Amino acid sequence: MSKSTPLAVVILAAGKGTRMRSDTPKVMHKVLGLPMVNWVLNTVSCLNPDRTIVVIGEGMDALAASVAPHEYVIQNTQQGTGDALKAALPALKGFSGNVLVLLGDMPLLSPDSLEKLVIIRNMDGVTGISVLGAQVEDPFGFGRLLLNEDGTLKAIREEKDASEEEKQTNIINLGAFCLDSRRVERWLLNLNNKNAQKEYYITGLPEMAAKDNVKTRIALIDDPREAYGCNTRMQLTKLEITAQEMMRESFIEDGVMMQDPSSVYLHYDTQIGPDTVIEPNIYFGSGVVVGSNVHIKAFCHFEDAVIGDGTTIGPFARLRPGARIGQDVRIGNFVEIKKSTIGDRSKINHLGYVGDAIIGTDVNFSCGAITVNYDGFEKHQTIIGNGVMVGSNVNLVAPVALDDGAFVAAGSTVTKDVPADSLSVERSPVKVHRGWAALYRKRKGNKK
């Protein structure tokens, strides 16, 4: 966002979240794997603010660490949003411009909505406040935005303080304000706590502004789903569902095919290229990057994995942290890969485990083959060159290396390096005892 007026952002994040039934501060609860407050921080970064201040509560060390390197201040008393904004005043000393005030438990607000809020605050010389709102079918539980005949804001009423007539309006307050920094301190000092909760609310600021003949205008969001906040576990669940839905839609619009979007679970940092096809029941953990033209078959689980263009994965495949899959690779059913690099066009089609390995290009890693990477104390690496054929039910006991073009016979347990273009056969001699089975059954039968 380009701006001519300086912008400071204050995020109110000191709530303990008592109704969450948790010792974790409310804004530290995660949506798509990211704390809610970090969603808000990521969004405001798109506005290029001159400073960002987070208001936290006493003893919230984990929250302070999570918002770093942004500045934070401590709200020593829990007396409402007005009290929280007062705690940020020392950090705003000397600042002149727009002050954007946001709630730390509103993770789905978009940069476009916040940019609209800032633009409306600066639309003329008599607008000192802009408030973000939403028009919804069911406003129950939300504060209401009460309008004057000219469309400017007259007042904000919390549900508990609203009259029956005021409750009929369906324009709700989302708790996001853009304020003229020159007047913020005086307005805050004039707030009172004459309300059901006996707290100081920033929702009282428009009435303070009106006494100065300063107008308050509203900015309405385009997507009502951005309005979701969080005070309870159930609301957190609904936030997760909504965020998943919005992220899936974004990928689909960018060219990703999801056969059953509701069964695909994404992480906030998931990346997926166009023309990728995703079958049902897929879980993306943190740090997953998927290229273009990838086919992900049903029932796969990925964490901290990179998948190259044109690759096919699954069904029932698991890529654990450190899996790096090249282009045009085939990873089949019941294959698990951990901390390993798989070269282009290689195949691990079924029933295999690859851990702590580097596998070259055009390798065939056959059914039932595994890397034996752990000796009970340390992990060891397996290195496989290009064009290697690893037969079925092979154990590669690390540390071990197979050079380019090597073959390993099925059923082998390989404990020594295999030179290029060589065949390794490590099997015990076959011993056949004729008639043994019949004698064994007869002996056992006579004991009954």
Convert 325-351 into a string of H (helix), E (strand) and C (coil): ECCCCEEEEEEEEECCEECCCCEEEEE
Q: Cβ atoms within 10 A of the Cβ of 2, count?
A: 6
Instruction: Name the active-site residue from 29, 70, 267, 350.
Output: 350
Task: Classify the phi-psi angles of 222: left when phi > 0, otherwise alpha if psi is within -120 to 50, otherwise beta.
Answer: alpha
Q: Is 301 an annotated catalytic residue?
A: no
Three-state secondary-structure class, residue 32: coil
Cβ 13 vs Cβ 25: under 8 Å = yes
The tokens describing 193, both together, are 């706590």
Cβ 296 vs Cβ 331: under 8 Å = no
Helices 81-92 and 181-189, interaxial angle, to 10°? 130
Enumerate residues 6+ apart whose C-beta is below 8 A from 440. none
CA–CA separation, 66 and 2 (whole Å): 27
Supply the DSSP string of 382-446, one letter for each residue.
Answer: EEE-TT-EE-TT-EEESSEEE-TT-EE-TT-EE-S-B-TT-EE---PPP---TTHHHHHHHHHHH
Q: How far apart are the first and last CA of the chain?
A: 87
Q: Which residues are catalytic?
A: 350
